[in-house]
Amino acid sequence: MTVWLRPPRRVALLSVHTSPLEQPGTGDAGGMNVYIAQTATRMAERGIAVEVFTRATSSDLPPVAELAPGVLVRHVPAGPFEPLDRTELPAQLCAFTAVVLQTEANNEAGFYDLVHSHYWLSGQVGWLARDRWGVPLVHTAHTLARVKNAALADGDTPEPRSREIGEQQVVDQADQLVANTDMEANDLLHRYDADPAKVCTVSPGVDLARFQPGSRTDARARLGVPASATVFAFVGRIQPLKGPDVLLRAAAEVLRRGDVNRSDLVVLVVGGPSGTGLEQPRALQELAAHLGISDVVRFLPPQAGPELAQVYLAADVVTVPSHNESFGLVALEAQACGTPVVATDVGGLRVAVRDGVTGLLVPGHSADMWADALTRLNSPELRAVLGAGAVSHARAFSWDRTTDELVGAYMRAGVAFREVSEQAEVAS
């Protein structure tokens, strides 16, 4: 049995359904991918080796790839070599777990000091690895079924009961539960009856070297957007939960009112279909046509880091109209670039965006309310004030701080695991 009161030497990081090597913005790749890649890289810089286990979605993937010095990504064969819907993945957890356990068995005893699982599917695997290896389990949920089901978009599919049960099992078994915000921590306490001693809040960060103020004129030139245009942007996975339709309806209302000239307006939608959005991959294009705004809407595929920063810089406003967010990395990245954000007044967006200081929070999803907010930010003076506040706010978040706090959570998990182990020995 491994018990330690120091930072771990090697962490087994579990991310069953999505790889940190994937491009965020489509499929299941999103903020969690960024979180894992950024924190794992910084763990390695602190002398903690990290091995990420993720399901192989192609036979062309190497068994092991290096994400960064000290960070390995292990592609685990579990099920067909193709992307699977998350509803199909529980059937592959046994195969996935077997490979994870075998990997540890092929090394010397005590090879991994700690397991950190991301999302409930990984938590199921982590729970078994914890018990087999005799090491602490740290779990980050990222999203919670009971919270998502309480704030579904119209027509969206609720999370199944089996997920709620699986999440509850992981909450009960983990030695430390890492929440993105105090609100998420409260959800764990009151919706899942988590032990308060096990719950801590660690805010995600932002890459302040990549996302920073720059030339709006140059960014627009790179994107082929007129320098004088009014630009509203949405960045993220295209699915009902993220609410990209809210921006299109609001833009149509802004034009109907005459608040912005049609010839001046550009609406950028950056991302790819995901989740239930895969059922109707052209739904947004069809909605734009129905609203009569196809001429002002530009659809772009997911953008890599430097190109994504150009999107944020080119926008007058970045919108985050999600129905629920555990945090909202897009909002933080945009603000780090000096671009105000209009976001829904829900979940972690209340932390990521400071209403009236870095952007505006909208209490709902009606086209009228969103049009009001977008029109309010059509004032260059207000945008300048909020943009300055946005940069200052974003600087309070960094992946280095997030990583340091995660290391603290790892050490607390070690203490908790030792105490539980000692109690079990006494009882026996």
State how far the alpha carbon of 376 is from the alpha carbons of 152, 230, 254, 259, in Å.
28, 13, 11, 10
Contact (Cβ atoms closer than 8 angstroms) between residue 52 and residue 40: yes
Q: What's the CA gap between 423 and 418, in Å, rounded?
A: 9
Contact (Cβ atoms closer than 8 angstroms) between residue 367 and residue 387: no
Q: State both tokens at 114.
A: 């700690």
Q: What's the CA gap between 9 and 258, in Å, rounded?
A: 61
Q: What's the CA gap between 209 and 222, in Å, rounded?
A: 20
- Residues marked as binding? 17, 23-24, 28-33, 86, 119, 143, 163, 237, 242, 303, 312, 315, 325, 333, 339
Q: State both tokens at 11.
A: 């962490």
Contact (Cβ atoms closer than 8 angstroms) between residue 145 and residue 156: no
Residue 395 neighbours by CB distance under 10 Å:
13
Please give the torsion angle defined by the CA atoms of residues 251, 255, 259 and 262, in that order, rounded to the nearest 10 degrees: 110
Contact (Cβ atoms closer than 8 angstroms) between residue 211 and residue 336: yes
State how far the alpha carbon of 37 is from the alpha carbons of 34, 223, 261, 303, 400, in Å.
5, 27, 42, 16, 12
Q: State both tokens at 303.
A: 């953008």
Contact (Cβ atoms closer than 8 angstroms) between residue 133 and residue 87: no
Contact (Cβ atoms closer than 8 angstroms) between residue 269 and residue 315: no
Residue 282 DSSP one-character state: T
Q: What's the CA gap between 132 and 219, in Å, rounded?
A: 52
State how far the alpha carbon of 75 is from the alpha carbons of 39, 86, 137, 179, 343, in Å.
19, 17, 21, 27, 36
Cα-Cα end-to-end distance for the chain:
16
Q: Which residue has the tokens 């998350």?
A: 86
- Residues marked as binding for UDP-N-acetyl-alpha-D-glucosamine? 23-24, 31, 237, 242, 303, 325, 333
- Residues marked as binding for Mg(2+)? 312, 315, 339
- Residues marked as binding for 1D-myo-inositol 3-phosphate? 17, 28-33, 86, 119, 143, 163
State how far the alpha carbon of 97 is from the alpha carbons of 17, 79, 164, in Å.
13, 12, 20
